[in-house]
Amino acid sequence: MNEQDVIRRVTAENRQNMSWGNLAWLVGAAQMPGAEQTLGVVTILPGKRNPLHAHPNCEELLYVISGECDHKLGDELFHLTPGSVIRIPRDIPHWALCTSGEPLVAVVSFSSPDRRTNTLEESGEIA
C-alpha cells in the first residue's frame, strides 16, 4: 500500500476557502479511491456561518475540536463546545454559526464516500 492511499494531512492544496471559513477534505472517493466514508476538517470564522444545507445520501457527524458554535438542526438550535459531537441525520437542513472569539474547528464525517450536498440558500457557498 502506498502512503498516499491511506494517509492525508490538511494542507493549503486540499483546503477550500469560503467567505465563512474553509473546508479540507481528507478522505472520500475523490481523495482515496476505495474509501467507504468521507472525512474532513471545517473551520468557521467568528461570527460567520456556513449556508443552510442538507446531505441527501448520508448522515454527518460533527466533532468540535476548538471554538464554539450554535448548530441549527431542522427547527432546533444546539450549542456545541470543544468535545461535543452532533449527529445530523440524512436530508435534515442544518448550519453552524461560530459563536466564540476564536474560529470553530471541527472534524466532519459522513457515512458515504461520495457525500452530496444540497445548498438551501441562494447566496450559500459550500463545497
Dist CA 73 CA 95 (whole Å): 7
Full pLDDT tens readout for the chain, 127 residues: 788 778 999 999 999 999 999 999 999 999 999 999 999 999 999 999 999 999 999 999 999 999 999 999 999 999 999 999 999 999 999 999 999 999 999 999 999 999 999 999 876 556 5
Grid look-up 438551501 returns 120
Dist CA 22 CA 44 (whole Å): 7
Dist CA 110 CA 60 (whole Å): 5
pTM: 0.93
Q: Provide the CATH number for the domain formed by 15-111 in this structure.
A: 2.60.120.10
Domain ranges of the chain: 15-111
Residue 97: all three cell numbers together: 454559526
